[in-house]
Protein backbone atom coordinates (compact mmCIF):
# COMPACT_ATOMS: atom_id res chain seq x y z
CA UNK A 1 0.00 0.00 0.00
CA UNK A 2 1.42 3.34 -1.00
CA UNK A 3 1.56 6.31 1.36
CA UNK A 4 -1.21 8.93 1.50
CA UNK A 5 0.04 12.01 -0.26
CA UNK A 6 -1.07 15.66 0.24
CA UNK A 7 -2.44 15.90 -3.28
CA UNK A 8 -4.79 13.03 -2.48
CA UNK A 9 -6.10 15.01 0.49
CA UNK A 10 -6.74 18.03 -1.68
CA UNK A 11 -8.63 15.90 -4.19
CA UNK A 12 -10.70 14.30 -1.43
CA UNK A 13 -11.61 17.68 0.06
CA UNK A 14 -12.66 18.88 -3.39
CA UNK A 15 -15.02 15.92 -3.79
CA UNK A 16 -16.50 16.36 -0.33
CA UNK A 17 -17.06 20.06 -0.96
CA UNK A 18 -18.90 19.35 -4.23
CA UNK A 19 -21.08 16.77 -2.51
CA UNK A 20 -21.94 19.22 0.27
CA UNK A 21 -22.95 21.90 -2.22
CA UNK A 22 -25.26 19.45 -4.01
CA UNK A 23 -26.92 18.52 -0.71
CA UNK A 24 -27.44 22.16 0.29
CA UNK A 25 -28.89 23.23 -3.10
CA UNK A 26 -32.68 22.77 -3.00
CA UNK A 27 -33.99 20.59 -5.83
CA UNK A 28 -37.54 21.86 -5.19
CA UNK A 29 -39.49 23.96 -2.74
CA UNK A 30 -38.75 23.14 0.84
CA UNK A 31 -41.45 22.81 3.41
CA UNK A 32 -40.71 26.32 4.64
CA UNK A 33 -40.94 27.91 1.19
CA UNK A 34 -43.91 25.82 0.13
CA UNK A 35 -45.88 27.01 3.12
CA UNK A 36 -44.62 30.59 2.93
CA UNK A 37 -47.36 33.15 2.30
CA UNK A 38 -47.33 34.88 -1.11
CA UNK A 39 -45.69 38.25 -1.35
CA UNK A 40 -48.08 40.82 -0.06
CA UNK A 41 -49.29 43.57 -2.35
CA UNK A 42 -50.11 46.93 -0.83
CA UNK A 43 -53.88 47.62 -0.90
CA UNK A 44 -53.15 51.02 -2.44
CA UNK A 45 -51.08 49.40 -5.19
CA UNK A 46 -53.80 46.84 -5.91
CA UNK A 47 -56.48 49.54 -6.02
CA UNK A 48 -54.31 51.64 -8.33
CA UNK A 49 -53.87 48.71 -10.75
CA UNK A 50 -57.59 47.90 -10.70
CA UNK A 51 -58.51 51.53 -11.41
CA UNK A 52 -56.13 51.63 -14.37
CA UNK A 53 -57.68 48.47 -15.83
CA UNK A 54 -61.20 49.83 -15.40
CA UNK A 55 -60.20 53.12 -17.04
CA UNK A 56 -58.62 51.38 -20.03
CA UNK A 57 -61.68 49.18 -20.54
CA UNK A 58 -63.96 52.20 -20.92
CA UNK A 59 -61.71 54.56 -22.90
CA UNK A 60 -62.15 52.74 -26.21
CA UNK A 61 -65.90 52.79 -25.78
CA UNK A 62 -65.79 56.48 -24.90
CA UNK A 63 -63.81 57.32 -28.04
CA UNK A 64 -66.32 55.34 -30.11
CA UNK A 65 -69.19 57.33 -28.60
CA UNK A 66 -67.48 60.62 -29.42
CA UNK A 67 -66.57 59.51 -32.94
CA UNK A 68 -70.18 58.56 -33.67
CA UNK A 69 -71.29 61.93 -32.34
CA UNK A 70 -68.85 63.81 -34.56
CA UNK A 71 -70.15 61.89 -37.59
CA UNK A 72 -73.83 62.19 -36.67
CA UNK A 73 -76.00 63.62 -39.47
CA UNK A 74 -77.68 65.96 -36.98
CA UNK A 75 -75.72 69.19 -36.52
CA UNK A 76 -76.83 69.58 -32.89
CA UNK A 77 -75.18 66.28 -31.99
CA UNK A 78 -71.99 67.18 -33.82
CA UNK A 79 -71.90 70.48 -31.92
CA UNK A 80 -72.15 68.79 -28.53
CA UNK A 81 -69.57 66.17 -29.50
CA UNK A 82 -66.99 68.73 -30.60
CA UNK A 83 -67.63 70.86 -27.50
CA UNK A 84 -67.03 67.80 -25.35
CA UNK A 85 -63.58 67.42 -26.91
CA UNK A 86 -62.50 70.52 -24.98
CA UNK A 87 -62.20 68.33 -21.87
CA UNK A 88 -59.60 66.06 -23.47
CA UNK A 89 -56.63 68.38 -23.10
CA UNK A 90 -53.18 67.33 -24.24
CA UNK A 91 -54.58 64.68 -26.56
CA UNK A 92 -53.57 64.70 -30.22
CA UNK A 93 -56.63 62.75 -31.32
CA UNK A 94 -58.96 65.34 -29.76
CA UNK A 95 -57.15 68.12 -31.60
CA UNK A 96 -57.37 66.20 -34.89
CA UNK A 97 -61.11 65.67 -34.48
CA UNK A 98 -61.66 69.35 -33.66
CA UNK A 99 -59.63 70.43 -36.70
CA UNK A 100 -61.78 68.21 -38.89
CA UNK A 101 -64.93 69.78 -37.42
CA UNK A 102 -63.54 73.23 -38.26
CA UNK A 103 -64.48 72.41 -41.89
CA UNK A 104 -68.00 71.19 -41.09
CA UNK A 105 -70.79 72.28 -43.43
CA UNK A 106 -72.76 73.69 -40.48
CA UNK A 107 -71.37 76.98 -39.20
CA UNK A 108 -72.44 76.26 -35.63
CA UNK A 109 -70.22 73.20 -35.66
CA UNK A 110 -67.35 75.21 -37.13
CA UNK A 111 -67.72 77.84 -34.39
CA UNK A 112 -67.79 75.18 -31.69
CA UNK A 113 -64.69 73.56 -33.20
CA UNK A 114 -62.79 76.86 -33.20
CA UNK A 115 -63.69 77.52 -29.56
CA UNK A 116 -62.67 73.97 -28.62
CA UNK A 117 -59.28 74.32 -30.28
CA UNK A 118 -58.65 77.38 -28.14
CA UNK A 119 -59.70 75.55 -24.98
CA UNK A 120 -57.41 72.67 -25.91
CA UNK A 121 -54.52 75.15 -26.20
CA UNK A 122 -53.82 73.61 -29.62
CA UNK A 123 -51.04 75.83 -30.94
CA UNK A 124 -50.70 73.51 -33.93
CA UNK A 125 -54.16 74.71 -35.03
CA UNK A 126 -53.15 78.39 -35.31
CA UNK A 127 -52.84 78.35 -39.15
CA UNK A 128 -56.31 76.79 -39.47
CA UNK A 129 -57.78 79.25 -36.99
CA UNK A 130 -56.29 82.15 -38.91
CA UNK A 131 -57.96 80.81 -42.03
CA UNK A 132 -61.25 80.61 -40.13
CA UNK A 133 -61.09 84.37 -39.55
CA UNK A 134 -62.26 84.70 -43.15
CA UNK A 135 -65.32 82.50 -42.58
CA UNK A 136 -68.46 84.14 -43.93
CA UNK A 137 -70.29 83.53 -40.66
CA UNK A 138 -69.49 86.06 -37.91
CA UNK A 139 -69.88 83.47 -35.13
CA UNK A 140 -67.14 81.33 -36.68
CA UNK A 141 -64.89 84.35 -37.11
CA UNK A 142 -65.46 85.41 -33.49
CA UNK A 143 -64.80 81.91 -32.20
CA UNK A 144 -61.57 81.72 -34.19
CA UNK A 145 -60.51 85.16 -32.94
CA UNK A 146 -61.17 84.18 -29.35
CA UNK A 147 -59.24 80.92 -29.77
CA UNK A 148 -56.31 82.81 -31.26
CA UNK A 149 -56.48 85.27 -28.37
CA UNK A 150 -56.27 82.36 -25.90
CA UNK A 151 -53.34 80.98 -27.88
CA UNK A 152 -51.65 84.41 -27.70
CA UNK A 153 -51.65 84.87 -31.47
CA UNK A 154 -51.70 88.52 -32.58
CA UNK A 155 -54.13 87.83 -35.44
CA UNK A 156 -56.97 88.08 -32.92
CA UNK A 157 -56.26 91.79 -32.32
CA UNK A 158 -56.96 92.61 -35.95
CA UNK A 159 -60.47 91.26 -35.55
CA UNK A 160 -61.13 93.09 -32.30
CA UNK A 161 -59.83 96.30 -33.85
CA UNK A 162 -62.20 95.83 -36.77
CA UNK A 163 -65.12 95.30 -34.41
CA UNK A 164 -64.22 98.37 -32.36
CA UNK A 165 -63.54 100.71 -35.27
CA UNK A 166 -65.94 99.24 -37.81
CA UNK A 167 -63.32 98.81 -40.50
CA UNK A 168 -60.30 96.74 -41.40
CA UNK A 169 -56.93 97.14 -39.80
CA UNK A 170 -55.25 94.95 -42.39
CA UNK A 171 -56.21 93.11 -45.53
CA UNK A 172 -56.89 90.03 -43.40
CA UNK A 173 -59.94 91.62 -41.79
CA UNK A 174 -63.68 91.19 -42.14
CA UNK A 175 -66.21 91.81 -44.88
CA UNK A 176 -68.43 94.80 -44.19
CA UNK A 177 -71.52 92.61 -43.80
CA UNK A 178 -69.98 90.80 -40.84
CA UNK A 179 -69.12 94.07 -39.12
CA UNK A 180 -72.64 95.34 -39.65
CA UNK A 181 -74.11 92.23 -38.06
CA UNK A 182 -71.77 92.58 -35.11
CA UNK A 183 -73.24 96.02 -34.36
CA UNK A 184 -76.50 94.36 -33.34
CA UNK A 185 -76.13 93.81 -29.56
CA UNK A 186 -78.91 91.23 -29.45
CA UNK A 187 -77.27 89.15 -32.15
CA UNK A 188 -73.84 89.40 -30.55
CA UNK A 189 -75.20 88.24 -27.19
CA UNK A 190 -77.09 85.39 -28.81
CA UNK A 191 -74.02 84.29 -30.76
CA UNK A 192 -71.91 84.50 -27.63
CA UNK A 193 -74.18 82.33 -25.56
CA UNK A 194 -74.98 79.93 -28.34
CA UNK A 195 -71.38 79.25 -29.28
CA UNK A 196 -69.85 79.63 -25.82
CA UNK A 197 -67.21 82.01 -27.07
CA UNK A 198 -66.26 83.58 -23.79
CA UNK A 199 -66.79 87.23 -24.72
CA UNK A 200 -70.07 87.60 -22.85
CA UNK A 201 -70.77 86.80 -19.16
CA UNK A 202 -71.30 83.11 -18.52
CA UNK A 203 -70.69 82.44 -22.20
CA UNK A 204 -69.38 78.95 -21.52
CA UNK A 205 -72.75 77.94 -20.08
CA UNK A 206 -74.34 78.03 -23.52
CA UNK A 207 -77.34 79.75 -25.03
CA UNK A 208 -79.83 77.35 -23.47
CA UNK A 209 -78.51 78.28 -20.03
CA UNK A 210 -79.02 81.94 -20.93
CA UNK A 211 -82.59 81.29 -21.98
CA UNK A 212 -83.20 79.30 -18.82
CA UNK A 213 -81.80 82.16 -16.75
CA UNK A 214 -84.33 84.50 -18.33
CA UNK A 215 -87.09 82.18 -17.09
CA UNK A 216 -85.82 82.61 -13.50
CA UNK A 217 -84.83 78.96 -13.28
CA UNK A 218 -82.26 77.94 -10.66
CA UNK A 219 -80.41 75.62 -13.07
CA UNK A 220 -77.63 78.06 -14.03
CA UNK A 221 -76.95 78.77 -10.34
CA UNK A 222 -76.82 75.05 -9.55
CA UNK A 223 -74.53 74.51 -12.54
CA UNK A 224 -72.19 77.21 -11.25
CA UNK A 225 -72.23 75.59 -7.81
CA UNK A 226 -71.26 72.26 -9.36
CA UNK A 227 -68.28 73.84 -11.06
CA UNK A 228 -67.09 75.38 -7.79
CA UNK A 229 -67.18 71.94 -6.16
CA UNK A 230 -64.40 70.88 -8.51
CA UNK A 231 -62.06 72.63 -6.06
CA UNK A 232 -63.43 70.94 -2.93
CA UNK A 233 -61.13 68.05 -1.86
CA UNK A 234 -63.86 66.47 0.28
CA UNK A 235 -64.89 63.08 -1.15
CA UNK A 236 -68.52 63.84 -0.23
CA UNK A 237 -68.53 66.59 -2.84
CA UNK A 238 -67.07 64.18 -5.36
CA UNK A 239 -69.86 61.70 -4.64
CA UNK A 240 -72.44 64.46 -5.02
CA UNK A 241 -71.02 65.44 -8.40
CA UNK A 242 -71.15 61.83 -9.61
CA UNK A 243 -74.75 61.50 -8.48
CA UNK A 244 -75.63 64.79 -10.18
CA UNK A 245 -73.89 63.78 -13.41
CA UNK A 246 -75.86 60.54 -13.49
CA UNK A 247 -79.34 61.46 -12.28
CA UNK A 248 -80.06 65.19 -12.27
CA UNK A 249 -83.13 66.21 -14.24
CA UNK A 250 -81.41 69.20 -15.83
CA UNK A 251 -78.97 68.70 -18.70
CA UNK A 252 -77.05 71.89 -17.97
CA UNK A 253 -76.43 70.87 -14.37
CA UNK A 254 -75.35 67.36 -15.40
CA UNK A 255 -72.84 68.79 -17.88
CA UNK A 256 -71.49 71.15 -15.22
CA UNK A 257 -71.04 68.23 -12.84
CA UNK A 258 -69.11 66.33 -15.51
CA UNK A 259 -66.88 69.34 -16.11
CA UNK A 260 -66.18 69.50 -12.38
CA UNK A 261 -65.36 65.80 -12.21
CA UNK A 262 -62.95 66.18 -15.11
CA UNK A 263 -61.27 69.04 -13.27
CA UNK A 264 -61.03 67.04 -10.03
CA UNK A 265 -59.01 64.43 -11.93
CA UNK A 266 -59.99 61.35 -9.93
CA UNK A 267 -60.41 58.27 -12.19
CA UNK A 268 -62.08 56.21 -9.47
CA UNK A 269 -65.48 57.44 -10.68
CA UNK A 270 -65.05 56.18 -14.26
CA UNK A 271 -66.90 52.91 -13.72
CA UNK A 272 -69.95 54.73 -12.37
CA UNK A 273 -69.88 57.40 -15.08
CA UNK A 274 -69.78 54.71 -17.77
CA UNK A 275 -73.54 54.36 -17.31
CA UNK A 276 -73.89 57.67 -19.13
CA UNK A 277 -72.26 56.29 -22.29
CA UNK A 278 -75.69 54.89 -23.13
CA UNK A 279 -77.58 58.03 -22.08
CA UNK A 280 -80.33 59.19 -24.47
CA UNK A 281 -79.42 62.83 -23.91
CA UNK A 282 -76.60 63.17 -26.42
CA UNK A 283 -75.07 66.26 -24.79
CA UNK A 284 -74.61 64.30 -21.56
CA UNK A 285 -73.45 61.21 -23.43
CA UNK A 286 -70.68 63.01 -25.32
CA UNK A 287 -69.61 65.04 -22.29
CA UNK A 288 -69.33 61.85 -20.27
CA UNK A 289 -67.25 60.16 -22.96
CA UNK A 290 -64.79 63.05 -22.98
CA UNK A 291 -64.66 63.06 -19.17
CA UNK A 292 -63.87 59.34 -19.09
CA UNK A 293 -61.12 59.73 -21.68
CA UNK A 294 -59.60 62.59 -19.71
CA UNK A 295 -59.81 60.82 -16.36
CA UNK A 296 -58.40 57.64 -17.90
CA UNK A 297 -55.14 59.46 -18.49
CA UNK A 298 -54.89 60.54 -14.85
CA UNK A 299 -53.11 58.69 -12.03
CA UNK A 300 -55.41 57.81 -9.15
CA UNK A 301 -54.81 59.69 -5.93
CA UNK A 302 -53.58 57.33 -3.22
CA UNK A 303 -55.00 57.73 0.24
Separation CA 242–CA 270 (nearest Å): 10
CA–CA separation, 132 and 168 (whole Å): 16
Q: Which residue has the higher pLDDT, 182 or 296?
A: 296
Please count the residues of the chain.
Answer: 303
By the 8 A CB rule, do 141 and 188 touch?
A: no
| Listed range (23-37, 110-124, 164-178, 243-257) with the worst mean pLDDT | 23-37
**Distance linking the first and last C-alpha atoms of the chain:** 80
Greater pLDDT, 208 or 30? 208
Helix (H) or strand (E) holding 271: helix 270-273
Domains of the chain (ranges, CATH numbers): 55-296 (1.25.10)
- Residue 167 confidence (pLDDT) above 70: no
CA distances from 173 to 38, 39, 135 (A): 71, 68, 11
Q: Which of 60-64, 123-127, 151-155, 299-303 has the lowest mean pLDDT?
A: 299-303
User: What confidence category does residue 155 fall into, taking pLDDT thresholds of 50, 70 and 90?
Assistant: confident
**pLDDT bracket for residue 200 (50, 70, 90):** very low
- Specify whether the backbone of 265 is left (phi greater than 0), alpha (psi in -120 to 50) or beta: left
**Residue 126: exposure state from Cβ atoms within 10 A (0-12, 13-18, ≥19):** middle
Is residue 169's pLDDT more than 90? no
* DSSP structure class, residue 120: T
Q: Cα(210)–Cα(153) distance, rounded to whole angstroms?
A: 29
What is the band of 218 on the pLDDT scale with cuts at 50, 70, 90?
A: low
Q: Which residues are CB-neighbours of 222 under 8 A, at least 6 positions away?
A: 250, 253, 256
Phi, psi (degrees; rounded to nearest 5) at 44: -65, -40
300 with 267: CB under 8 angstroms? yes
Instruction: Note whether 142 and 178 are within 8 A (CB).
Output: no
CB 159 within 8 A of CB 169: no
pLDDT tens track for 258-289:
999 999 999 999 999 999 999 999 999 999 99
Residues 103, 109: Cα–Cα separation, whole Å: 9
CA 179 to chain centre: 35
Q: What is the mean pLDDT of the chain?
A: 76
C-alpha span between 223 and 233 (Å, rounded): 18
pLDDT at 143: 87
Quote the CA–CA distance of 76 and 151 in Å, as a whole number.
27
pLDDT at 196: 44
Residue 32 has pLDDT above 50, yes or no: no
Amino acid sequence: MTGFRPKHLVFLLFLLNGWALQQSAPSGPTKATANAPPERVSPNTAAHTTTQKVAASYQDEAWRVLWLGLRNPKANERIEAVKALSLVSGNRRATTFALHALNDKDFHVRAAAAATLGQLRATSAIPDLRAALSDKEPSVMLAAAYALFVLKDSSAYEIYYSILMGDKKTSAGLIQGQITRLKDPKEVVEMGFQEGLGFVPYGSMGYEAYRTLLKHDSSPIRAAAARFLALDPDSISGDALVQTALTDKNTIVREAALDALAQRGDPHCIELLAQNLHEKLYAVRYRTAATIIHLGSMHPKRH
